[in-house]
Chains A and B, each alone.
Chain A
Amino acid sequence: MVTPLKSKYRVAIVGGGVQGLSLAYNLAKLGEKDVVVFEKGYIGSGASTRNGGLIRTAWFSEEVCTLMNESVRVWEQLSEELSFNVMYTQRGSFIVAGTDPQMEFCKELVDLHTSWGIRTKLLDSREAMKLIPCFNEREVRGGIYDRKGGIARHDAVVWAYARAASHLGVTVFPQTEVQAIRLQDGQVRSVKTSQGEVQADIVVDAAGGHSTHVAQMVGVQLPTRPVRWEAMVTEPIKPYLNPYVRWPKGELYVSQTSRGEIVAGVDSHEASSMDLRCSLAFIKKVSAALSSIFPSLERLAVLRQWAGLISISDDGCPILGPIPEVGGFILDCGWYIGFATAPIAGRMLARSVLEDKMPKLIEPFRYTRFADGEQISEDSNSERMTRLARLNQY
């Protein structure tokens, strides 16, 4: 069943990943059904299906924590809302503290979370070991438990949004690459794709790792860069690890999927890169980290590793909404927490597109913050993340 390309749409979304599809669905749900989504590969083929499927509320700045927390509320109802099982399970998440300075920092963070209305809890080593008995006890002094954390199956989420959006009248074109965006009098006018050219009043950049490139098509240089992030998966085993675990010392994040595989990754320190090849350095580092914090896994076999692209902005936070330079061009990019927040971001951005006003929840992520000098990094997001990492040295 092939729907022909119309000559004009009200909204054209570049990128059929979880963000673009969530936005398309929410636009249609609010009544704007004249929406088209262009995806270069198959739907979800970028970071949407290469991420670890992790959702948590315990982050490092009030703006991001609040967004995450509101997103969790939508996640809790998402399978029902979309009539598709996205396999969301609220298993909790745990950030490990291995040293006294790290414990102190975690305590500070929990106090901050509490003041922001995020309900996290500081656990001591005994409580942590009770929560996750397979830990290497020597590495665990305690940590932050976030009972609202969880995981979902990323492929299912992408399909659920695509299907729900299609049912409401949105057209999704997979295998369709956007090649150019044409402007007229400082306003977006049309989108040239590999399947033909269409006019559009509004064009949304939701292209994930390629969003910097898409913005260049309208002559805008975003303060973002694509970064390669790698992950791996092991053979499936019996239920072993319930919460999602973040271990800053090993730069590790890890969870067990609903079908039993252990999925893990380590932080990437690469400069800007579009390279999707797997690296030996990564698999060595993640294997060492995983078998240090969970010694009983050292005989577990790795099945495969892969790489994906995320987009990192100068202050480490997403960039959402309109830009003053080009009328009708909307940003939905700079995501490295794009999976966890897609349900709320799509809902909020859809409102901002239709009402021409940014909802309060996503207002801090506006593009103009970089020009106004109101970046979120001021003693918050990136700074705290770096501090937590640096405390490993003690």
Chain B
Amino acid sequence: MKPKKIVCLCEDLTKEDLEDAIKNGFNDLELLKRFTGVCTGPCQAKFCLMNVIQMLSEMNHTKPESIGVPALRPPFRPTRLAVLRGDAAEE
């Protein structure tokens, strides 16, 4: 058995998973994100994004800078409800 190449640790996605999705037409970063869940886990794209951009650029034959980045949304890092509601300190 070939070893798995994990691209997204949060959502447990392999390189093959992402390649399949791109081949099936989810070849735009926003679509790929929604179809596979890549960039939407607890890391919020901080670990996986560069590899995903690389893959999209190779498979779409476009420059990496034309791929763009997904909309980055608050909070900057996962934050507990108790902190956000305003009565607990961040750990």
| A positions within 8 Å CB-CB of B | 42, 45, 49, 155, 159, 234-236, 259, 278, 283-284, 287-288, 290-291, 297-306
Contact = CB atoms under 8 A, between A and B. Distances in A.
Interface of B: 28, 30-31, 34-35, 37, 40-42, 44, 71, 73-75, 78-82, 84-86, 88
Given A287-B85, A303-B42, 8 more contacts: A155-B34, A235-B41, A235-B42, A283-B75, A287-B81, A287-B82, A304-B73, A305-B74
Contacts of A302: 75, 78-81, 84
Given A299-B80, A302-B81, A155 B35 contact: yes
Contacts of B41: 235-236, 303
Contact of B78 (A235, A259, A288, A298): A235
A45 B70 CA distance: 13
A305 B78 contact: no
A311 B35 CA distance: 27
B44 A300 contact: no
6 contacts: A259-B37, A298-B80, A298-B88, A299-B80, A302-B75, A303-B40
Contacts of A305: 73-75
A278 B74 CA distance: 8
A278 B73 CA distance: 8
Contacts of B35: 155, 159
Shortest 4 CB-CB contacts between residues of A and residues of B: A301-B78, A287-B84, A288-B85, A287-B85
Contacts of B81: 234, 287, 290-291, 297-302
Contacts of A298: 80-82, 85, 88
Contacts of B74: 278, 283, 304-305
A162 to B, nearest CB: 10
Nearest to A280: B74
Contacts of B42: 235, 301, 303
Nearest to B86: A284
A49 B81 CA distance: 24
Given A287-B84, A290-B81, A304-B44, A42 B73 contact: no
Nearest to A41: B30
A42 B80 contact: no
A45 B29 CA distance: 13
A303 B31 contact: no
B77 to A, nearest CB: 8
B46 to A, nearest CB: 11
B75 A304 contact: yes
Nearest to A307: B73
B75 to A, nearest CB: 6
Nearest to A154: B34
A278 B72 CA distance: 11
Contacts of B37: 259
Contacts of A300: 80-81
Contacts of B71: 306
Nearest to B91: A299
A291 B34 contact: no
**Among A236, A278, A284, A301, which residue has the most Cβ atoms of chain B within 10 A?**
A301
A284 B80 contact: no
B84 A284 contact: yes
Given A284-B85, A291-B82, A298-B81, A306 B30 contact: no
Nearest to A278: B74
Contacts of A304: 40, 44, 73-75
**Among B37, B40, B84, which residue has the most Cβ atoms of chain A within 10 A?**
B84
A12 B64 CA distance: 35
A288 B88 CA distance: 12
